[in-house]
Amino acid sequence: MTPYMLPEQAWLSSGAELCLLVHTEGIAFHPASRQFLLPAASAAKAIERELAQAQALCLIAYRGDESLVLLPAEHSDLPEGWQWLDLRSALALLNEEDGAIAGRAVQLKHWMDTSRYCGRCSSPTQAHQRERAYQCPECGFMQFPQFAPCVIGVVVDGDRVLLANGVKHKAGIYAALAGFIEAGETAEQAFVREVKEEVGVDICNLVYLGSQPWPFPGQLMLGFIADYAGGELNIDENEIVDAGWYSKHNLPQLPPEHTISRQLIDYALERLN
Ligand SMILES: [Zn+2]
């Protein structure tokens, strides 16, 4: 894994006082001070910069006037006292704005790592001069940042909501149901299908509530609430460990507050009969 960093000239020219270290799995964290953002002076001293070529293709995150340019560096270059923290843990600690920057950075880093060869003719790609894209010099094919659209939602029946502990969730965490949208599907069709496949019930009255990027490594979650329309719970054991109906007074352990899953659950609970 190659970590990435801000070059000195990026934060000097932008006036930013802070920078963010990112690599594929997470961002730099200072446990003693609980800081995520590395003071630029420390970064300049601690980390070797590799400016060649990277500027055009590595501009990956921004906030206001701050342009964050990430460049290759070595693990060992992290200053003493700093460590890499996985993105899931980081998102639970960062505020929403910084969490969005970290997520975007890690997501784009993943795209950079997986776009080095042309998907059509397998030639090595080059960073495009103007677009945020990699282009094949042989056949011209362009590879832009990619993310997969997913649906996620809470099913409501009277005074209770349907929650599930998925095989990919931590044990004991009950979340909204979710899945990838397949080619040719609408988001609504995908959620109806996913709920039927994963827990066996039918739903109706879907309402779209909002979306959230999910950088593990690159999904866009489209959030729904829907009404139960019939059927018995019958879980797909390849996807779901356990699922059940829960009321306000009988809640299992829920996902962290920064997740759209939790936000959808809270929204649904507030509106229960
Ligand atoms: Zn090609």
pLDDT in tens, 28-79: 555 555 555 443 433 333 333 332 233 323 333 333 333 333 433 333 355 5
pLDDT at residue 233 tops 90: yes
pLDDT of res. 218:
87
More confident: 251 or 87: 251
Looking only at the bridges linking them, the beta strands covering 219-230 and 148-157 are parallel
More confident: 77 or 190: 190
Instruction: Output the CA 114–ligand 1 centroid distance in Å.
Output: 14
Instruction: Output the CA 138–ligand 1 centroid distance in Å.
Output: 5
pLDDT at residue 267 tops 70: yes
pLDDT of res. 127:
80
Instruction: Output the CA 222–ligand 1 centroid distance in Å.
Output: 32
Task: Among 87-91, 140-144, 148-152, 268-272, name the one with the lowest average pLDDT.
Answer: 87-91
Instruction: Output the CA 150–ligand 1 centroid distance in Å.
Output: 29
Helix, strand, or coil (residue 120):
coil
pLDDT of res. 146:
85
Instruction: Output the CA 118–ligand 1 centroid distance in Å.
Output: 5
pLDDT of res. 119:
94
Instruction: Output the CA 201–ligand 1 centroid distance in Å.
Output: 45
Task: Among 85-99, 225-239, 245-259, name the one with the lowest average pLDDT.
Answer: 85-99
Nearest to 134 by CA among 73, 56, 217, 220: 56
Give the integer Cα–Cα distance in Å for 189 and 128. Answer: 36
**Beta bridge mates, 23:** 26
Instruction: Output the CA 110–ligand 1 centroid distance in Å.
Output: 20
Query: Is residue 154 very low, low, confident or very high in pLDDT (cuts 50, 70, 90)?
Result: very high
DSSP letter (8 states) at residue 152: E
CB atoms within 10 A of CB 186: 10
More confident: 216 or 203: 203
What mean pLDDT value characterizes the chain?
75
Nearest to 182 by CA among 170, 191, 173: 191
CB atoms within 10 A of CB 117: 14
Nearest to 151 by CA among 185, 184, 104, 201: 185
**DSSP-assigned states of every residue in 225-237:** EEEEEE------T
pLDDT at residue 214 tops 80: yes
More confident: 198 or 105: 198
Query: Is residue 98 very low, low, confident or very high in pLDDT (cuts 50, 70, 90)?
Result: low
pTM (2 d.p.) = 0.72
